[in-house]
């Protein structure tokens, strides 16, 4: 008899501004049409890390994330934590978060019913994984990321969004954060090393993409491939507020920003960023800490059901 995979479904009820928690009974009913599973609910920030580790240690074949990119990030960091010798489970995704950028890159349907049905007979994508070392509260810390990491303006947007999230949920905090950061953020001087090449640059933002999309649908790294063993490193240089605002629609909808003279698209396996100014670091939409930071690609390190 063929082995039937064991599924653990990790639910983040606060994703999508709390909509995932309200919809979970309905999502659960749909999932039961296609797979047998046990469920685990993430109750606080970082809890999904523990749930992902438990899924690995208890021998689940698949850990399915119901939430956004932040939920996937926590689960993957849990699966890869410690020195466990168990085979790593594959990651499944039911996109129910505000961003769902990794799902968009992989072609996982946004409709809940269609995404759940895919889990009945899924194909497996083997994806690269990112690892970042940065200055955190306890010195040098490390984090894995599955879709994209960034520094500068985009990390400042994440910081501001976290503040807005105390009062209102959904897409409003992200849009409000974009607007307020646009008005006040100052470009930074940085030393950027991509593999063996080092340059001093004044930048507004730097994004390291594994997937193409970022920030809830912005096509920041349109040339990125999830399995080529490289980051697509997109640097937005010393661009002003009005110039950024004028070019923003092209970033969001078409990825046409790569033709701008102050935007660079490069590839690297390892990137290091230093600065004498405060330069924040985020990964998969989670604010981590500050530079100095080093990013490394881990080729074909993650199996994702899609």
Which CATH number belongs to the domain containing residue 264 in this structure?
A: 2.60.200.40
DSSP state of 18: G
**Assigned domain for 1 exists:** no
The answer to whether 161 and 85 have CB atoms below 8 angstroms apart is no
The percent of residues in the chain predicted with pLDDT above 90, rounded, is: 73
Q: Is residue 133 domain-shared with residue 272, that is, in the same domain? A: yes
Domain boundary among 122, 156, 173: 122
Q: Are residues 108 and 257 in the same domain?
A: no
SS (H, E, C) 77-124: HHHCCCCCCCCCCEEEEEECCCCCHHHHHHCCCCCHHHHHHHCCCCCE
Q: Are residues 244 and 105 in the same domain?
A: no
CA 255/CA 261 separation, integer angstroms: 14
Instruction: Please check whether residues 189 and 264 belong to one and the same domain.
Output: yes
Q: Are 111 and 155 within one domain?
A: no
pLDDT value for 184: 77
What percent of the chain is modeled with pLDDT above 70?
A: 89
| Bigger pLDDT: 173 vs 191 | 191
Residues 153 and 115 in one domain: no
Q: Per the domain annotation, does 290 fall within a domain?
A: yes
Q: Does the pLDDT at position 115 exceed 80?
A: yes
What pTM, to 2 d.p., does this model score? 0.91
36 and 145 belong to one structural domain: no
User: What value does the mean pLDDT take over residues 9-16?
Assistant: 94
The reported pLDDT for the residue numbered 17 is 81
What's the rounded Cα separation, in Å, for the pair 81 and 27?
29
Model confidence pLDDT, tens digit, residues 25-55 = 999 999 999 999 999 999 999 999 999 999 9
Please indicate, yes or no, if residue 93 is contained in any of the structural domains.
yes
Same structural domain for residues 136 and 109?
no
pLDDT at position 161 over 60: yes
**In terms of residue numbers, what domain contains 26?**
7-122
Domain end position, chosen among 71, 94, 122: 122
**Separation CA 277–CA 1 (nearest Å):** 61
Res. 230 pLDDT band, cuts 50 70 90: very high
In a shared domain, residues 156 and 274: yes
């Amino acid at each position: 008899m063929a082995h039937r995979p064991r599924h653990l479904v990790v639910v983040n009820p606060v994703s999508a501004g709390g909509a995932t928690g309200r919809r979970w009974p309905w999502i659960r009913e749909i999932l039961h049409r296609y797979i047998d599973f046990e469920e685990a609910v993430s109750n606080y920030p970082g809890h999904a890390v523990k749930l992902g580790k438990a899924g690995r240690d208890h021998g689940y074949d698949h850990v399915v994330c119901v939430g956004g990119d932040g939920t996937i990030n926590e689960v993957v960091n849990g699966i890869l934590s410690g020195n466990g010798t168990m085979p790593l489970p594959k990651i499944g995704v039911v996109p129910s978060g505000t961003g769902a950028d990794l799902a968009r890159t992989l072609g996982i349907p946004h409709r809940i019913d269609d995404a759940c049905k895919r889990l009945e007979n899924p194909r497996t994508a083997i994806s690269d994984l990112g690892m970042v070392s940065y200055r955190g509260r306890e010195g040098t810390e490390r984090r894995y990321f599955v879709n994209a990491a960034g520094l500068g303006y985009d990390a400042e947007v994440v910081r501001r969004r976290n503040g807005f999230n105390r009062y209102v949920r959904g897409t409003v905090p992200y849009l409000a954060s974009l607007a307020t950061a646009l008005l006040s953020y100052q470009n930074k001087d940085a030393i950027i090393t991509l593999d063996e090449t080092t340059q001093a640059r004044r930048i507004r933002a730097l994004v390291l993409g594994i997937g193409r999309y970022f920030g809830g649908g912005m096509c920041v790294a349109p040339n990125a491939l999830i399995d080529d063993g490289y980051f697509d490193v997109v640097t937005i240089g010393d661009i002003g507020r009005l110039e950024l605002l004028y070019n923003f629609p092209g970033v969001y909808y078409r990825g046409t920003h790569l033709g701008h003279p102050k935007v660079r698209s490069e590839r690297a396996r390892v990137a290091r960023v230093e600065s004498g100014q405060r330069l924040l670091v985020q990964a998969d939409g989670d604010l981590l800490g500050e530079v100095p930071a080093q990013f490394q690609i881990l080729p074909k390190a993650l199996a994702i059901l899609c």
